[in-house]
Amino acid sequence: MDTELILMQLFSGVALGAILVLTALGLSIIFGMLGVVNFAHGALFMVGAYAGLWVASLTGSFWWGLLVAPVMIGLFGMLIEYLLVRPLYGRSIDDPLLLTFGLSYVLVEGVRIVFGSDGIPFPTPSSLTGVVDLGVGFFPIYRIFVVGVVVIVVLLLWLGLEKTRFGLIVRAGARDPTMMRVLGVDISKVWLLVFGLGVGLASLGGVLSGPMRSVNPEMGALVLAEAFVVTVIGGLGSLLGSIIAGLVVGIVISMTALFAPEMATIVMFALMALVLLIRPQGLFGKLA
Amino acid sequence: MTSPAFAAPMPSSVRKPARLKSLVTTYRVPLSIIALCLLPWLLPSKALAVNVLVYGVVAVGYNLLFGYTGLLSFGHAAFVGAGAYITGIAIGQFGVPWYAAVLLGVFGGGLLAFAIGALSTRTRGIYFSMVTLALAQLVYYVALQASSWTGGENGLRGFTVNKINLLGYDVNFLDPVNKYYVLMTFAALALWIVSRILNSPFGAAIEAIRENERRASTCGYNVERTKLLSFTLSGTICALGGTMSALHLAFVPLDSLHYHASGMIVMMTLLGGASSFFGPFVGALVFLVMEDVFSLWTSHWQIIVGSIFVLFVLFLPKGIWGTFLARVMR
Amino acid sequence: MSAPLLAVDDIGVRFGGFVALQGVTTAFHPGRVTSIIGPNGAGKSTLFNVLSGVLTPSSGTIRFKGQDLKGTRHHEFVHRGIARSYQITNIFPDLSVHENVRVAAQASRSRYNIWTNRKRFSELDVRADAALESVGLVAKRDEIAKFLAHGQQRALEIAIALISDPEVLLLDEPTAGMGPEETKEMVALLERLAAARTILLVEHKMKMILGLSDRILVLHHGRLIADGSPRDIQTDPEVRRVYLGQNDGYA
């Protein structure tokens, strides 16, 4: 097998991994702050893709879709936190999980009613179509763009968490919410924003992946399973873990697809099983 | 014991429902068999009644893990599906007699539950739900890829059981009433087994783990091993439900392995009430009747069911039966 | 002096960079009440967690009746003969008082019996009721544990720990959060228990400790700084410095 093909496949793995990083980060941020695993994460990824498609077709520009949809769905996420998840704080940790699972049914069926059950093609913006020769091979411009966007988003997120007052509160609040309240920080407002941020990241992933996969109401199911695999491998609540595990899983899926395409999806679960055997808390997770 | 306080009379208002409750608990298996005998004559169709049997067994088996051990699995469709697929493959591709195929299905599903349980019970808390979901999805994708065995996306067909031989008599299995009562025997057996498990010392141990894992461990329980046993037993009962469904439909859809199918089991259990023996069965009944009714109105019935489930989590976390018990037995 | 029942040698516990215990070496002899005191964060609970197998020490050995407990898992400790209670009440909240103790009694046998009706094990019921009797909770037998008063819940936890008939009983602040009346009852209970077994006690109530203990260990910043009779400890200059030099609010 020639190196060029391997390199190209490696790069598709990175692009796929970049999307996984976004969804897993969203999941992990929400969990780290609120202690809630959002089972509607995959469905919101899917809703994000549809929202991006809708805004793009309204405005005639992919760029509006990319910018507006994550904000829109992020705000919708805040509404979900405020109306549905908030009443469950203080109850069993299973309750928000069950609720968001039920919500995913409603979201998937809602999208079917509005957009129909069949997949819709999500055209790649004309300025990002085609391939570019990087000396070692031809790479699709759109995938390079996706990786670039994810790198910027992750950097912004890191800066936001490390360098701003909001980030300080988020990090401290994740450790000790009661203390934050004692210090006079309105922790519920932080929860609202973090939930919105996590959902926004998922829907950004949805819009970005639109031109790479077909957009259909069921796409969220695989995304949710993938996000779980990545966060379990990386360690739930660990942002660095999500990033590294996301890239590793993306690359492993892509490389397997090259040699044994029928094993591509299966291998990521096998990877997770392996990590569970060796390190049940995940690569970057702390022991409970 | 000779303590006078032990014999102190309780207020009579407390006593009567409590006695009723303990009577119901003692005779829960005969009572459920009576209910099951009447069921097909109370529901609009026999096929629906068989479905209630199948998912009643699945939900009761699932609740051994969820309600009694306190572990929220999102992967039990894998065991239901494994039971169904193994039974179907054994009959259709190997010509195994139906009863042996049922045994193989139950055993195979139980073995799969042991394997997935061994991995997932190593994790704690919220991880457990995520890991069971992911491992069950692995089973889904394996079934999708192994299409020469499983029929892949089209599901598994070609193993219709027309008639079965019971004690020397040929019973026409295509007749819905016969089919119902044959499968009901399996359901009754499953309920009896679960009831015995719940009454056993092990039944007390899993409740202790649900209540307080650390304390149970300090008391001398090997928490991981107890959870694994509970997981395996629960998966085995669900596999029995799966084999029943295979015999009933003569078809195994690939979607029966999807985590949405696992979620459906969770929904049924919660709708009925996870804190009681009958709750999950009631939940399966209500869920399937809802599906039957709403799917006549609209193909988007899942939006109604999903919304109802969300409302239940918010306002009726004890479920229908659990809330009913709390009201009546107070 | 008889051979020690439980002995630790050069125990160290680290959490990342934080040293919780360092070089703790001591032994506990049968039939005595030993109290472990020290300011908050001194490592008392950590030592208890090591002695009951909740934590595996980073270094050092624990021996029980001469046997190294290395590799023994937490749930096996009670089968060896070491039982404990926790600083924060640790019971089965939604089970009845009787069932709380019965399920603990059952752990020593028939743990994986999934078939026999548990009512057939009637000797467990008898033992459970006897344990409840010994802590004065028989009257509350059929109540749901979470509805008990705080002091009664603490007593229930001790009954749970007692049911295995342990040789060593570790009690982590059994009177935490109790008023004077409840404390008095608990002290009486501890005195009765001390007659038959080895008790290790973590406590903050000095007056109670001085009255109950045969021996007192003082931990400070994870190190053992004093070990002796209540009288020795009261006059120990190092202990006085730790307790009086930095006002922790204990006296």
| CA A199/CA A104 separation, integer angstroms | 13
The alpha carbon of residue B246 is apart from the nearest alpha carbon of chain C, in Å, by 28
Query: Is the CB of residue B167 less than 8 Å away from at least one CB of chain C?
Result: no
Residue C246: what pLDDT? 53
The alpha carbon of residue B226 is apart from the nearest alpha carbon of chain C, in Å, by 7
Residue B3: what pLDDT? 37
Three-class HEC string of chain C: CCCCCEEEEEEEEEECCEEEEEEEEEEECCCCEEEEECCCCCCHHHHHHHHCCCCCCCEEEEEECCEECCCCCHHHHHHHCEEEECCCCCCCCCCEHHHHHHHHHHCCCCCCCCCCCHHHCHHHHHHHHHHHHHCCCHHHCCCEHHHCCHHHHHHHHHHHHHCCCCCEEEEECCCCCCCHHHHHHHHHHHHHHHCCCEEEEECCCHHHHHHHCCEEEEEECCEEEEEECHHHHHHCHHHHHHHHHCCCCCC
Mean pLDDT (chain B) is: 90
Asked if C84 lies within 8 A of B218 by C-beta distance, the reply is yes
Q: What are the pLDDT digits (tens) for B14-32?
A: 445 567 777 878 888 888 8
Query: Is the CB of residue B313 less than 8 Å away from at least one CB of chain A?
Result: yes
The alpha carbon of residue A247 is apart from the nearest alpha carbon of chain B, in Å, by 18
User: A90, exposed or middle or buried, with CB in 10 Å at 0-12, 13-18, 19+?
Assistant: exposed
Q: Once rounded to an integer, what is the mean pLDDT over residues B286-315?
A: 93
Q: Supply angle C-alpha C198, C204, C206, rounded to 5.
A: 85
Greater confidence (C28 vs B2) lies with C28
Residue C10 has pLDDT above 60, yes or no: yes
Q: What is the pTM of this model?
A: 0.92
Q: Domains of chain B: which residue ranges?
A: 45-256
Mutate to test the interface with B, among A47, A218, A228, A284 (most CBs of B within 10 A): A228
Of B120, B131, B307, the CB nearest to A106: B307
Q: Please report the residues numbered 238 through 267 in chain B whose beta carbons come closer than 8 angstroms to any beta carbon of chain A.
A: 258-260, 263, 266-267
| CA C50/CA B72 separation, integer angstroms | 31
**Searching chain B, which residue's CA lies closest to the CA of residue A277?**
B119
| CA A241/CA A258 separation, integer angstroms | 26
Tell me the chain A residues in contact with residue B142 when contact means C-beta distances shorter than 8 Å: 266
Q: What are the pLDDT digits (tens) for B136-171?
A: 999 999 999 999 999 989 999 989 888 887 777 888
Residue B308 has pLDDT above 90, yes or no: yes
* Residue A58 burial (CB count, 10 A): 11
Place of tokens 């060029």: A4
The alpha carbon of residue C103 is apart from the nearest alpha carbon of chain B, in Å, by 6
Tell me the chain A residues in contact with residue B125 when contact means C-beta distances shorter than 8 Å: 93, 288
Residue C224: what pLDDT? 93
Q: Once rounded to an integer, what is the mean pLDDT over residues B175-201?
A: 94
**Searching chain C, which residue's CA lies closest to the CA of residue B3?**
C138
Tell me the chain C residues in contact with residue B212 when contact means C-beta distances shorter than 8 Å: 90-93
Asked if C129 lies within 8 A of B214 by C-beta distance, the reply is no
Q: Is A199 within 8 Å of A74 (Cβ atoms)? A: yes
DSSP state at residue A215: B
Asked if C138 lies within 8 A of B6 by C-beta distance, the reply is yes
Q: Is C108 within 8 Å of B220 (Cβ atoms)? A: yes
Q: Once rounded to an integer, what is the mean pLDDT over residues C194-205?
A: 90
Of C75, C118, C139, the CB nearest to B217: C75
Tell me the chain B residues in contact with residue C95 when contact means C-beta distances shorter than 8 Å: 207-208, 211
Q: Once rounded to an integer, what is the mean pLDDT over residues C41-60?
A: 92
| CA C39/CA A13 separation, integer angstroms | 55
Q: Please report the residues numbered 93 through 152 in chain B whose beta carbons come closer than 8 angstroms to any beta carbon of chain A.
A: 119-120, 122-127, 129-131, 133-135, 137-138, 141-142, 145
- The distance in angstroms from the start CA to the end CA of chain B is 28
Buried b (16+ CB within 10 A) or exposed e, B169-205: eeeebeeeebbbebbbebbbebbebbbbbbbbbbbbb
Query: Is the CB of residue C172 less than 8 Å away from at least one CB of chain B?
Result: no
Query: Is the CB of residue A274 less than 8 Å away from at least one CB of chain B?
Result: no
Identity at B326, one-letter amino acid code: A
Distance of CA B91 to the CA centre of its chain: 24
| CA B326/CA C118 separation, integer angstroms | 25
Mutate to test the interface with C, among B197, B218, B276 (most CBs of C within 10 A): B218
Mean pLDDT (chain A) is: 90
Residue B4 has pLDDT above 60, yes or no: no
Sequence-ordered list of residues with C-beta below 8 angstroms from that of A263, at least 6 positions apart, any chain? A256, B145
- φ, ψ for residue A75 (rounded to 5)? -65, -40
Q: How far is CA B188 from CA A74, A262, B60, B99, B185, in A?
A: 49, 41, 11, 16, 5
Low-confidence ranges of chain A (pLDDT < 50): 288
| CA B61/CA B236 separation, integer angstroms | 8
**Searching chain B, which residue's CA lies closest to the CA of residue C81?**
B220
Element holding B163 (H helix, E strand): strand B163-166
Asked if C83 lies within 8 A of B211 by C-beta distance, the reply is no
Residue C251: what pLDDT? 41
Tell me the chain B residues in contact with residue A273 when contact means C-beta distances shorter than 8 Å: 119, 135, 138
The two three-digit tokens of residue A141, written as one number: 């411009």
How big is chain A, counted in residues? 288
Tell me the chain B residues in contact with residue A118 when contact means C-beta distances shorter than 8 Å: none
Paired with C81 in beta bridges are none
Greater confidence (C125 vs A213) lies with C125
**Searching chain B, which residue's CA lies closest to the CA of residue A223?**
B134
Residue A161: what pLDDT? 87
Q: Once rounded to an integer, what is the mean pLDDT over residues C193-198?
A: 87
Q: What are the pLDDT digits (tens) for B69-113?
A: 999 999 999 999 999 999 999 999 999 999 999 999 999 999 999
Of B5, B202, B214, the CB nearest to C90: B214
Asked if C114 lies within 8 A of B215 by C-beta distance, the reply is no
What is the count of residue pairs from A and B with beta carbons less than 8 Å apart? 113
Sequence-ordered list of residues with C-beta below 8 angstroms from that of A79, at least 6 positions apart, any chain? none
Q: What are the pLDDT digits (tens) for C82-122?
A: 999 998 889 999 999 999 999 999 998 777 889 999 888 98
Residue B329: what pLDDT? 67
DSSP state at residue A124: P
| CA B107/CA C120 separation, integer angstroms | 29
Residue B10 has pLDDT above 70, yes or no: no
Determine what percent of chain B is predicted with pLDDT higher than 90. 75
Name the pLDDT band for B7 (thresholds 50, 70, 90): very low
**Searching chain B, which residue's CA lies closest to the CA of residue C121?**
B201
Q: Is B322 within 8 Å of B273 (Cβ atoms)? A: yes
Dihedral sign of CA atoms B179, B180, B183, B185 in order: negative
